[in-house]
Amino acid sequence: MNYGIIKKIDIADGLGVRVSLFVSGCRNHCKGCHNQITWDFNFGKPFTKETEDEIIEALKPAHIAGLTVLGGEPFEEENQEVLAPFLERVKKEFPNKNIWCYTGYLYDKDLLPQDGRKHTPYTNRMLACINILIDGPYIEKERDLTLNFRGSRNQRIIDLEHNCLLKL
């Protein structure tokens, strides 16, 4: 897996001050996407053990609320294989910090069901680590600049711990 950027101080992609990892590779190709450069699976740098360690180090300060994973598309099959063990490591080392994840796929249709089009042997492992999932493709016709943490009205903020939708 490749990644495009790591933001060690991010206040736009989740509640609180966060570390954000932008992974590479996305097959959704949403019209109007603000991050089209990350569609290419070869964009950026390889995600290595050193990259993991860099993110772990960035998560250590008390003022960091947690990690956000976005892209690109974290739930592309190739990315899940790498992200599942990494997210498990983050959860183990920082049990009191939360993990947010953005996906253009639908939680209840594409990810959760065993026959979902993006369900892999790694999906449940990832979902078990994620506290907040923002799901749904960006739809340019539904763009709404007044929304928190979303680009279009169809996207949902799902609290996976409590299995409910949030209105932030």
Give the tokens for residue 108.
């209840």
CA distance 84 to 122: 6
CA distance 86 to 134: 19
- What pLDDT is recorded for position 168? 78
Q: Is the pLDDT assigned to residue 164 strictly greater than 90? A: no
As a whole number, mean pLDDT of residues 143-152 equals: 93
Q: Which residues contact 86 (CB under 8 A, 6 or more apart)?
A: 47, 52
**β-sheet with 132-135: strand ranges across:** 45-46, 2-10, 17-23, 64-71, 98-102, 132-135, 156-159, 164-166
- What pLDDT is recorded for position 163? 87
What pTM, to 2 d.p., does this model score?
A: 0.95
Q: Quickly state the pLDDT bin for 129 (edges 50, 70, 90).
A: very high
Average pLDDT, the chain: 96
Q: Quickly state the pLDDT bin for 35 (edges 50, 70, 90).
A: confident
CA distance 70 to 83: 11
